[in-house]
Structure 1
Amino acid sequence: MKSLCLLLILVPMTHHWIIGGVTLNVDRSSVYEGDNLHLECQYLNIFSKEVVTFYKDKIPITTGVRANLGQRLRIKVHSSKESGFYQCTADKEESNIVYVTVQELFSTPTLRAEPATDVFEGQRLKVACRVARSAGDIGLQYSFYRDGTPLDFHASSVGERTGVASLQVSGSYHCEADAPRRAVLKRSAGVHIAVKQAFSKPTLKVELGARSLTGQQLKLTCVVQIFRPSLSLRYTFSKDSQALDAAPRESSYVLEGARTNDSGVYNCEAKAVDSKVKKLSNQVLVTLRRIPVSKPELIVQPGDKLTEGDTASITCSVSNGSSPITYTFHKNFNKELHSETSNLTRITYGISKVNESSEGNYSCSVTNDGTKPFLQSNVVTVAVVAHSYTLAKATTALPLLLISAAIVALAFVKLRKKSRGNSADVCTSQGEGTGDRPRPSREETSASDVGHPAARSNQSDADTETDANVFYSVIAVTTSTNAADTETDANVFYSVIAVTNSTNAGIGGDASRWDQPKQEGQADYSVSYAALRHGKNGGDLPRDQLDEGRIYENLPRN
């Protein structure tokens, strides 16, 4: 009877092998990311091992494990997404359900860019990885990526990165926040950053004459489109990689009167005032050709007939031609007077004091690098005319000369008469008839007879002796050729007075004119006035061109 009762008790227990059911125990119902979650599935089966499986939200998280006294499971939770309902089963008998909350250690990073929109090259670009922390110091490390490539070799504890924006930094950015001690790594969403041009690449524009000749204006313009509002640029122009002296604020460079050495390779550079962004333009080759010089023209001022002692100027000019131009002045075709290289289109050669040597044929020649050989000008023949007194000046001096000669002659006659004790008889002229005054011959008087009293020494003693009964005076007006007779001016007129015997003396050496018989009642003494000549330029003119005046006798004295 006792054996039967024991069998009845054992049979039900074999059918219900788990004693007391299955229980799921959790050490903590709330954990942080990175923490360990401990799960324990408890049951009792002393006869056999049961298959134990753990579930989260009805989904198996482990494969079946055989155990007879329960099973423990440790889970490393990495994300708040691991929060949920946990349960276990043993031999298909389910445990109780436990909800486990997994809290974020830090939030998912957010990448932010400053400026957020319209990022222009040259501006400061800042990217920041922003997270919200739930725990204390967890030792976060940050990394930044552009198009999947790390921007730095190592992560940094600084959650932001600053740099200068350029066209090359455009791309898709994201960041990562890592808690290495808890093995929690989170990645931000991607942000596309597009850096815009602040200004376009410059284009060098060259403005020059169609023939690209020297002497023309060369203008360079740096053409730039500005996209960023309120942007200021500085410009630099270069020739053969050498910077030109140009105003930095001006987008144009002007070169007046370009020369051949201004040929070369030009470009320009534009640089933002508030940043380091600078851009270089295209290169432009400029080749300048020289303008051949035109045929020169020679002009003599005040004219081709110059007066001795005056000043004159000779001007050689061209209408066009590339500078520099070489000017050469010539006299009589083979004598070089002056040579000068200048950027001017006219050069003047001066003659400070004209003299006889200034006469001749004048011309000039010009050349430049575009003209070979020299070009010759027209020829101007220059003549030099001597200074002379006008007839009006000589006529003005005539009365004074006559008066002074008359006074001197009368003084000699009076003195002679007084010494002889004679009465003041009046002499008449040796003409035919008593009423007519004789007229002296108008033959030319030689310069030696009229101009110099010493010339009278060639006459006979009868003509020149001082005790003769009758004397006369001669006045000569001519140009001085003897330094003793003149002042510093070579054109001063002077007079010569001679007192000789009237019975033998003649005018101009013509004694026969006066060798006539003495008329009754004729005076022994008379004074005659010799021919008045207006000499020119030291007596260089022929005698037949001299202006001979009249000859006068003195009036009889009462």
Structure 2
Amino acid sequence: MAGDTGMAGKVALLLWAQTLGLTGAQTTHLLVDPPWVPPVKWDQVKLTCQGLGATTWYKDGQIWRQEEEDHVTVTESGTYTCDRSGSGLSPPVTVSDDWLVLQVPAQALLEGDTVTLRCRGWWNNTVTSVSFNCEGKELGRLHDGTELTLSPLQLQYSGRYHCKCRVKYWMSEKFWESALVAVTVHDLFSVPVLEGPPEPTEGSPLILRCISTPSLLRPRTPLLYVFYRDGQVLGGPQGSPQLLVPGLGVSHSGNYSCQVRFKGGAVWKSSAQLRITVHMPVANATITPSPLSHQVRAGDNVTLRCSVQVGSAPVTFTWLHNGKEVARGSLLELRDIDVGHSGTYQCVATNQLGQDGHRVFRTLSPELALEVTPRSPWITVAAGIGGTLLFLLLLVAVILAWHLWHRVAARNHQERPPPDPPEEGEVLYTHVVVTKRAGASPCATTLQDPQVTYAELWGHQGRPREPSDIYRNVL
């Protein structure tokens, strides 16, 4: 009989598991009232068949009743099932008639809940010195009571339970032991897993997610989340499973974990630790256009560019030339450089202050050596020669223009007509044209060889002068 009762307890547990949707294979279910597993016949158990269509009742595998009502009251021990024409056959429920029965609530047991186990004698006979056992280990012994309360339930409480006691029967006492009853404690929520970037960059935001799935038996269970770094509370308790750290510093490296708590505080679970190492960002200084030698000539234009990967944090760039600040911004443009621009260049990347008022990061780029060489001397000489030749060409052009101008002026002067006789009182002007005959002696004075071929003589006050006056003016 004890073995049959144990089987009945297991079947009844399966029943309420399916009733709450744990198996999902059946759509027709049997509900037990009073809600204890296994039920006993002296409680006048009421069975309710849930499903669709007309109801047919079975007892020990045989048709028991066919009626429209979906519930019956059981007064005999046995195994009962019901069939609904629209939803099929239900799981079986066994009503016990054992001498000693251990009963558990006919409901899904979740961690954190409070559950009561009770040990009952046949037809409520008095029992004493009751002890409760799980997997052969005694949990407790009661001298007067028959019920054991477990609170809060934990997953390790799952197992096979039974009770032992002394039973008064007529004028004697006997020691009885109940059949085994399987008790399963379900997760209220799963063990959390912490997610986050294992190697973020300093200055970037850190987003941590604590993943813990609530049980399907109680999906709307209110949970609270707490985040830790190296054992110290970083954030929470809070209702959100996500935590944002706006700007990371190197000091934020450490072992992170999260904890999920039931709102009542009875159940809590911690995740495994996640090691997060915050790395310094590396500023990268380059010369553009690329590729370009770090050796440039005087007069060239050079652009230096600085960049850094820091997430979304605003970054300020400062340029150093030989260790001294010369400019700000991600670009440094050097126009028409000379030898004085030679030296080492370095950029400093710094982000804005964090929310707690401290600098989040400051990083230096590798040094960039820039050598400015003067232009080639041959180019300088060529430039000087070119300037000289240009000057000479301009000078020749000026001289030619001057000679041309004078020739044109002389030609214009020869083609002018003789001037009018001077008025009286004007000063006498003499215009003499002297020509020589080819081969003539410069000393010839004969009339056939005159030296003066044309002369215009005018006296003072507009009258002609005498010839004797002419000779007085000839040298």
Global fold match (TM > 0.5)? no
Using the size of structure 2 for normalisation, the TM-score is 0.45
Q: Greater strand share, 1 or 2?
A: 2
Larger Rg: 1
